[in-house]
Amino acid sequence: MGNVLLFVSGSELVLVLLLALLFFGANSIPEIARTLGKGMREFKKATSDIQKEFENHTSDLKKDVNNFTDSVNSESNKLSRKIEEELEDKKQ
């Protein structure tokens, strides 16, 4: 929300508030503000839920990649040792 206000100067904000007061009237402004507040809370909650879901799926993927990498490294080390042993045997 702070980023949005960076593009709006103080006089522009006052003008928007005055126009809202003219169009909607003083009685409906608090209701509009409550509705906007609820909307922002729901949006933040949905964003947070999506972020948590994304992190959960990515952490599973990271575990799978790490397990695969460990397996490849292990097999690579075994193969490397076996080649070194065979080269040692041929030298003798």
Mean pLDDT of 29-35: 86
Residue 26 lies in a domain: yes
Cβ atoms of 1 and 40 closer than 8 Å = yes
pLDDT at 50: 95
Q: Give the contacts of 67 (CB within 8 A, at least 6 positions apart).
A: none
Residue 1 lies in a domain: no
pLDDT above 60 for 70: yes
Residue 78 lies in a domain: yes
Residue 40 lies in a domain: yes
Mean per-residue pLDDT of the chain: 85
pLDDT above 80 for 22: yes
Q: In the chain, how many domains are there?
A: 1
Cβ atoms of 46 and 38 closer than 8 Å = no
Residue 2 lies in a domain: no
Residue-range definition of the domain harbouring residue 73: 7-91
> What is the pLDDT confidence band of residue 1, given thresholds at 50, 70 and 90?
very low
- Which residue type occupies 32? I
Residue 57 lies in a domain: yes
